[in-house]
Amino acid sequence: MVGGGVVLEKDNAFGVEGLDICIEKLMVESKDRVAGIDSGLECEMMDVGGGVIKEWKDIPMELLLRIVSLVDDRTVIVASGVCTGWREAISWGLTHLSLSWCKKNMNNFVLVLAPRLTKLEVLILRQDHKPQLEDNAVEAIANNCHELQDLDLSKSFKLTDRSLYALAHGCSDLKKLNISGTSAFSDDAVAYLAKFCRKLKFLNLCGCVNAATDNALKAIGYYCNQLQTINLGWCEKVGDPGVMSLAYGCPDMRALDLCGCVLITDESIIALANNCLHLKSLGLYFCQNITDRAMYSLAHSRVKDKHGVWQSVKNRYEEEGLMNLNISQCTALTPPAVQAVCDSFPSLHTCPDRHSLIISGCLNLTSVHCACTVQGHRSFRIPHSAH
Ligand SMILES: [Zn+2]
């Protein structure tokens, strides 16, 4: 149906035959309405622009795109095969698409659809079931979808560096890229991508052990200065030089996940504390080289920020600062240092309801508590509705 060659999957909830019957039925109904059996608004709606709609292909493009925006991604693809007019309309108007539901034909779908969907801005190709995407599909995306801003290629185990080189050249407007769990990418390819995709704000490299090295992070810090969120979870080759490059190069950093980055030390955290004053979320699970020095640098960054630009704008000021900190298994930390961080950032909580300061596995930190669990403790924190 789609592209004259790709057969929709059996598990498609909205099969081709079902759709045909459905369309037939709706066409009969619409004729009845035009004939006056139904009256009022529905009849009026079928009389668009002075001409009566007799067939589905006559639906104005704007109306079709409005309908398409309300249905699921499978139905959009089925609809694009109804007639040439619909296909062209959808090609022109579709900006968001997810093919994550595909269990076996994702690669073929992308090869067929990419040349048609040149206006795509968001494309979700996560493969939870089994890896399907190959480099030729990503190359088809890069060759056709030049307006792409958000691409999810997570769990694409079959992809190689060829894909990243293609994206670097074809999709330089990317703001969000998720390649988590793709272990075959090299750090050279990520560095190359960073050089061309300088608008990146969100980058998920979780589990990309070979791709996320200090070498790659230096390139990201150098070229991608708008970066706000990066996930480097379980990238065990990441060290201080890489994280420090991010800290110096990406001053707008909001969320950084370094869980399982076992090589990093206090130097990384001090650089972040001094340069990334908008940092809201920091994951340091199992970073066992981290000591109290890092905690005091974070606590001190809050004091510095207090005299910053937000001082007079209280509401916005309250929103600034760390809201999530995971220091589970950071066994070298002591209670006074962690308490200092907790006191500096009112949004950090150890209480069960909010639990945004995560210290599990640190048995010596059980005395650390957020302000709201300490009787009679006064803080400048604005009371939160969740309490
Ligand atoms: Zn609390």
Give the model's pLDDT for residue 72. 83
Asked if residue 12 is part of any domain, the answer here is: no
Based on the fold, state whether residues 181 and 87 are members of the same structural domain: no
Residue 387 has pLDDT above 50, yes or no: no
CATH number assigned to the domain comprising residue 138:
3.80.10.10
Based on the fold, state whether residues 137 and 228 are members of the same structural domain: yes
Give the model's pLDDT for residue 307. 56
Give the model's pLDDT for residue 207. 95
Give the model's pLDDT for residue 306. 56
| Per-residue model confidence as pLDDT tens digits over 179-227 | 999 889 999 999 999 999 999 999 999 999 999 999 999 999 999 999 9
Q: How far is the CA of 356 from the centre of ligand 1 (A)?
A: 9
Q: How far is the CA of 10 from the centre of ligand 1 (A)?
A: 50
Q: Compute the distance between CA of residue 141 and CA of residue 139 in angstroms, rounded to an integer.
A: 5
Question: Which residues surround the ion ligand 1 when the cut-off is CB under 5 Å?
Answer: 349, 351, 370, 372
| Per-residue model confidence as pLDDT tens digits over 127-145 | 998 999 999 999 999 999 9
Give the model's pLDDT for residue 42. 35
Give the model's pLDDT for residue 368. 94
Based on the fold, state whether residues 25 and 108 are members of the same structural domain: no
* AA letter at 110: V
Question: How does residue 38 score in pLDDT terms, banded at 50, 70 and 90?
Answer: very low
Based on the fold, state whether residues 103 and 83 are members of the same structural domain: no
Based on the fold, state whether residues 247 and 229 are members of the same structural domain: yes
Based on the fold, state whether residues 62 and 127 are members of the same structural domain: no
Based on the fold, state whether residues 257 and 275 are members of the same structural domain: yes
Tell me which range, 58-67, 265-274, 302-311, 350-359, is most confidently predicted by mean pLDDT: 265-274
Q: How far is the CA of 232 from the centre of ligand 1 (A)?
A: 28
Residue 15 has pLDDT above 60, yes or no: no
Asked if residue 316 is part of any domain, the answer here is: yes
Q: Compute the distance between CA of residue 227 and CA of residue 223 in angstroms, rounded to an integer.
A: 9
Based on the fold, state whether residues 235 and 271 are members of the same structural domain: yes
Q: How far is the CA of 374 from the centre of ligand 1 (A)?
A: 9
Based on the fold, state whether residues 128 and 27 are members of the same structural domain: no
Asked if residue 49 is part of any domain, the answer here is: no
Asked if residue 7 is part of any domain, the answer here is: no
Based on the fold, state whether residues 176 and 306 are members of the same structural domain: yes
* Averaged pLDDT for residues 163-172: 98
Is the CB of residue 71 less than 8 Å from the CB of residue 44? no
Q: How far is the CA of 373 from the centre of ligand 1 (A)?
A: 6
Based on the fold, state whether residues 87 and 99 are members of the same structural domain: no
Percent of the chain with pLDDT over 90: 60
Counted domains in the chain: 2
Q: Compute the distance between CA of residue 354 and CA of residue 324 in angstroms, rounded to an integer.
A: 10
| Per-residue model confidence as pLDDT tens digits over 326-340 | 999 999 999 999 999
Asked if residue 378 is part of any domain, the answer here is: no
Asked if residue 2 is part of any domain, the answer here is: no
Q: How far is the CA of 359 from the centre of ligand 1 (A)?
A: 14
Asked if residue 222 is part of any domain, the answer here is: yes
Give the model's pLDDT for residue 374. 62
Based on the fold, state whether residues 35 and 161 are members of the same structural domain: no
Asked if residue 387 is part of any domain, the answer here is: no
Ranges assigned E (strand) in the chain: 47-48, 51-52, 96-98, 122-124, 150-152, 176-178, 202-204, 229-231, 255-257, 281-283, 324-326, 357-358
* AA letter at 231: N
Between residues 175 and 14, which one has the greater pLDDT? 175
Q: How far is the CA of 342 from the centre of ligand 1 (A)?
A: 10
Give the model's pLDDT for residue 318. 52
**Residue 340 belongs to what domain range?**
94-373
